[in-house]
Amino acid sequence: MNFAFLTGCAVLALVTGNQDPVASDHEELILSLNKKLLRSLEDKDSLPNPSVHLALRLSTHHNLVMEAAHLVRLKADLHKDIESSLTKGQPVTGLLALYALALRASCSELSSLTLNGEPLTVQLKKQMDLEKEHITNSLRPVTNYYQYSLGMLALCANGVRVSSHVRNKLVRAIEQDKMKHSGCESVDTLAMAGMALQCLKDSFPEEDGTQLEGALRTVKKKLVDSRRPDGHLGNEFSTGLAVQALLAMGSQVSDCSASMEAMRVDVRKGTYHNPMGISQTLPALQRKTYLHVKTTQCREEDDSLVLGTKPPGVVVPDETVSLQVEVIPADASSTTKTQDVTKGSSLHDALKLLQEKQSDFTFETEPSLWGPFLSVVNGERARQSDRSYWSLSSDGTSLSQGIQDYKIEKAQKITIKKTKY
């Protein structure tokens, strides 16, 4: 063998049979996340998740049989669910966009798919027009700018042009600082907007790009500025999308090394267990972005991914902690209840216990891609239509996870407050 063309490190690796330990650790972490995501397909209780499908399709390693079976479920169950929402006039921009991206990532012919008798891309364009009209009349989309961006990205990735009016509404929202989540800058939304506009820039270069360039520069600056000392961009759950956006916008992988390391630390700590969180992080760790689906060929793919061993059930210690739950409804009156709960139980289980044990506390949830979303407390509903939600905080700090994922590890006060956004 001629070693002349190999670098010093590569020669050493060949001679000793060792790989670069940093690179192989990175590959192992990716593989562990990939397997977790694959395992989530076994959950048949909820609707098939198009974001999970998208991430699996963007991966280097595949389990083609399981992915094909999941695609069948998307085309049957999710498809029907979206049709039913469309019939009821419920907004579905984000879900429809993720479905369109998942289909493209599987090289499915979109033109042959109809929703309630109309081509899927036509339905998505209609949703975008409704969103655009809503921005014109009420200065905000029906859903939010995250979903508005996702819709634009999905159309673009499928080669469909959006009108300049639709595009300019996003450009203006970026200029006017409208990308918010719980009152703060939403790194997730900025990232999605960046990917959508970058896709337009790459796919339709002949269109006037002056405003587009300015908006892209703003997004990039804000994403870079969102970097915390520990390398996260925003928080643990926005870093993956932010890295994807920066890579899509031309940043080098080396520019993102601190954020990549922050995500690796999170993987080791087990921060990403919610399939939705994994699905937004895994592509970034593999240096992929949602823009890659534009050119996916689905040919000669690796088929080596197998399910890992099932994670052992969590052993709940026989220990209780005191939990205070404060509810602040719209009229700002406040009530606080105290309940002993098992250490390590989820906030969802703690609230169920509170509801069971104390007569004047009730709550309801709605399913979402991230899990149960707290929608009704003591009979009072928080709605997208009146721009309110039940915000969650612990001892004054806003929770970065929902009721199912947040675990009660110590005595604390959880505040559930009806909040306008």
Asked if 400 is part of the footprint of ligand B12 (rule: CB under 6 A), the reply reads yes
Which of the ranges 117-125, 193-201, 230-238, 336-344 carries the binding residues for ligand B12, by CB under 6 A? Answer: 230-238
| Residue 391 binding ligand B12, by CB under 6 A | yes
Least separation in angstroms between residue 83's CB and ligand B12 is 16
Determine if 399 is a binding residue for ligand B12 (CB under 6 A): yes
**For residues 356-375, which are near ligand B12 according to CB under 6 A?**
368-374
Kindly state whether residue 280 participates in binding ligand B12, applying the rule CB under 6 A: yes
Q: Are 103 and 112 in contact (CB under 8 A)?
A: no
413: enclosing H helix or E strand: strand 412-420
Residue 38 · residue 278 · CB < 8 Å:
no
To the question of whether residue 146 is assigned a binding role by annotation, the answer is: yes
279 is in an annotated binding site: no
* Site for ligand B12 contains 149 (CB under 6 A): no
Q: Is residue 182 a contact residue for ligand B12 (CB under 6 A)? A: yes
Q: 401: Cβ–Cβ under 8 A, 6 or more apart, which residues?
A: 237, 274
Determine if residue 338 is labeled as part of a ligand binding site.
Answer: no
Residue 49 interacting with ligand B12 (CB under 6 A): no
Handedness of CA 404, 405, 408, 414 (dihedral sign): negative
389: left (phi over 0), alpha (psi -120 to 50) or beta: beta
Instruction: Lay out the site mask for ligand B12 across 5-44 (x = CB under 6 A, - = otherwise).
Output: ----------------------------------------
How far is 284 from 236, CA to CA, in rounded Å?
Answer: 13
Whether 18 has a binding-site annotation, put simply, is no
User: Closest by alpha carbon to 152, among 309, 291, 359?
Assistant: 291
Q: Which stretch binds ligand B12 (CB under 6 A): 29-37, 274-282, 295-303, 344-352?
A: 274-282
Rule CB under 6 A: choose which of 40, 63, 143, 158 binds ligand B12: 143
Binder among 34, 147, 244, 289 for ligand B12 (CB under 6 A): 147
One residue of 37, 41, 95, 170 binding ligand B12 per CB under 6 A: 95
Spatial separation of the C-alpha atoms in residues 163 and 153, rounded to whole Å: 13
For residues 112 and 164, is the Cβ–Cβ distance under 8 A? Answer: no
What is the token pair recorded at 369? 């891609």
Member of 99, 277, 281, 354 binding ligand B12 (CB under 6 A):
277
Output the CA torsion sign for 167, 169, 175, 181: negative
Does 60 help bind ligand B12 (rule: CB under 6 A)? no
Q: Which is nearer to ligand B12, 13 or 75 (CB)?
A: 75
By CB under 6 A, residue 390 contacts ligand B12: yes
CA dihedral sign, ordered 68, 99, 164, 198: negative
CB of 177 to ligand B12, least distance (A): 15
Regarding 275 and contact with ligand B12 (CB under 6 A), the answer is no
What single-letter amino acid sits at 168?
A: N
Q: How many residues bind ligand B12 (CB under 6 A)?
A: 40
The b/e string for 169-195 (b: 16+ C-beta within 10 A; e otherwise) is bbbebbeeebbebeeebbbbbbbbbbb
Q: What are residue 415's DSSP bridge partners? A: 326, 393
Q: What is the footprint of ligand B12 within residues 231-270 (CB under 6 A)?
A: 234-235, 237-238, 241
Does 143 show up as a binding residue in the annotation?
yes
| Cβ-closest position to ligand B12 | 402
- Distance between CA atoms of residues 324 and 322, nearest Å: 7
Regarding 140 and contact with ligand B12 (CB under 6 A), the answer is no
**Whole-angstrom distance, CA of residue 34 vs CA of residue 154:** 23
Our CB check for ligand B12 shows the closer of 18 and 182 to be 182
Q: Is 283 in the site for ligand B12 (CB under 6 A)?
A: no
Q: Are strands 412-420 and 320-328 parallel, antiparallel or unpaired?
A: parallel
DSSP alpha helix (H) spans, 271-346: 275-285
Cβ-based nearer residue to ligand B12, 305 or 414: 414
Q: Are 380 and 327 in contact (CB under 8 A)?
A: no
Q: Does residue 421 bind ligand B12 (CB under 6 A)?
A: yes
Record the tokens describing residue 68, joined without a space: 């094909």
Q: Is 235 annotated as a binding residue?
A: yes
Position among 40, 63, 144, 279 found at the interface with ligand B12 (CB under 6 A): 144
Tell me how far apart the alpha carbons of residues 209 and 197 are, in angstroms, rounded to a whole number: 10
Which residues contribute to the annotated binding site for cyanocob(III)alamin? 143-147, 188, 235, 280, 390-392, 399, 421
Question: Which residues make up the interface to ligand B12 (CB under 6 A)?
Answer: 94-95, 98, 143-144, 146-147, 181-182, 186, 188-189, 234-235, 237-238, 241, 274, 277, 280, 368-374, 384, 389-392, 398-403, 405, 421
